[in-house]
Structure formats: structure tokens, C-alpha cells
Amino acid sequence: RLYDVSSGIAETLLEDGDDGIICFDRYKRFLVCNRTAKKILPMLNKAKADMQLKEAPEFKKIIHCLNLFSNNEISKDPDVLEQNGKIYEIVPNYMLDGNVKCGYYLMLYDVTKDRLYARQMKDAAEAAIAAEKAKGSFLAQMSHEIRTPINAVLGMNEMILREAKDPQILEYSENIGTSGKTLLSLINSILDFSKIEDGKMELIPD
């Protein structure tokens, strides 16, 4: 009665479906599984009805999940089984005979593509954040390094403006001063952006 389905449905949906199915009685003894589950966990080929699946290490994950479920302990994230380069999500549930709980079954869903995609997205996001931090650090350091020689140039140019008498030299010096101040303003703006990104910008009412 726990496995009472037509042969056609059993063959097409249960036996060769994409998902593994493992059934247990109410004492958590193994009953039956489909071929997909046996491909995922080859040791199931040796399992017999009414036996406890505790001998093989590869059963450790599914037994742990079954025990948690039977004790009404629900984990925040679904248990995951990694086998033969694939990732399976373990989803437990009750087998019902009418309204009576007569056993358990575990579904092994192949979520390899979804998990790998999620990992790739996470790695890409972390790489983007790292690149953004590297860019901000580079701009901040370069801005400081560039501002120092610009200040030196402006300082020496100020000396020329004070001491030179030749009108042509004074004109050149004024052009240097204007360009230098413009460049210094750009560097200061870059530093401001770096401060904003680092959360170090202070707003001063003025």
C-alpha cells in the first residue's frame, strides 16, 4: 500500500525521472527507491527493505536530514548533497495513508545549475566589489601623490610671480598658476569622490 501505483506511472515518472526518491517507514527503515536515487547513491543498490541505512558513509547526509525532519527540526536552508560533481537538494516529507502518517520520503532535486549560477553571481559580485575598492584606493593614493608635486609647482611659480620683472615671464607664470590651480581642483574633486565612497565625507553647513 505504501508503493501502490500503476506500472506505467512507476516506470516513466517515478523510476526514470530527474529527481531521486527514497521511501522509509515510520521507524525510518528503508522501503524502496527509484532508479534515479540509485544512480545518485549507488550503495542503494545493495539496500534491502526494512533495513536501517546507517552502514555506508554516503547515507550520512540523508539520514541526518530524515532525523531532523522526524524531530520537527526545520533548518533555515535546505540540506544539500554533493555527489559525483552534482548538487542535490534534499526535501523530506511524510507519506500518508489517508490522513495517517505512515512513513517518510526524501526527494533529491538536481539543483546543480542553479547552485553553480548562484556561486558565479556571488563570485562576480565579490570581484566587482573588490575592483571598486581597488579603484577607489588607487584614485585616493594617486591623488595624494599627484597633489604633492602640483603644490610644489604652484609654490615655485608663486616665487616666480613675486621675483620676476619680465612681462613675458610673468604672463607665462600666470598661465602656469591658472592651469595648476585647475588641475589641483580636479585632484581635490577625485579625493572627495573617494571619501564619499569610503563613507568618510563630512558635511559642513556653510
DSSP track, 44-96 = GGG--TT--S-SSGGGHHHHHHHHHHHTT---SS-EEEEETTEEEEEEEEEEE
Query: In which band, very low, low, confident or very high, does the pLDDT at 3 lie, cut at 50, 70 and 90?
Result: low
DSSP code, position 177: H
Answer for the pair 90, 79: CB distance below 8 angstroms, yes or no.
yes
Q: What is the reported pLDDT for 6?
A: 47
Question: Using one digit for the tens of pLDDT, what is the confidence trace for 138-164?
Answer: 777 777 788 888 889 999 999 998 998
Cα torsion angle, 144, 203, 136, 182, sign: negative
pTM: 0.54
pLDDT average, residue stretch 109-123:
86
Question: Using one digit for the tens of pLDDT, what is the confidence trace for 63-86?
Answer: 888 888 888 877 667 788 887 778
Average pLDDT, the chain: 83
pLDDT average, residue stretch 182-192:
84
> What is the rounded distance in angstroms from the CA atom of residue 47 to the CA atom of residue 56?
10
Q: What is the reported pLDDT for 186?
A: 86
More confident position, 24 or 136: 24
| Burial class of 47 by CB neighbour count within 10 A (0 to 12, 13 to 18, 19+) | buried
C-alpha cell at 27: 521507524
Query: In which band, very low, low, confident or very high, does the pLDDT at 11 lie, cut at 50, 70 and 90?
Result: low
Percent of the chain with pLDDT over 90: 14
Kindly give the pairing relationship between strand 30-33 and strand 79-83. Answer: unpaired
Answer for the pair 63, 53: CB distance below 8 angstroms, yes or no.
yes
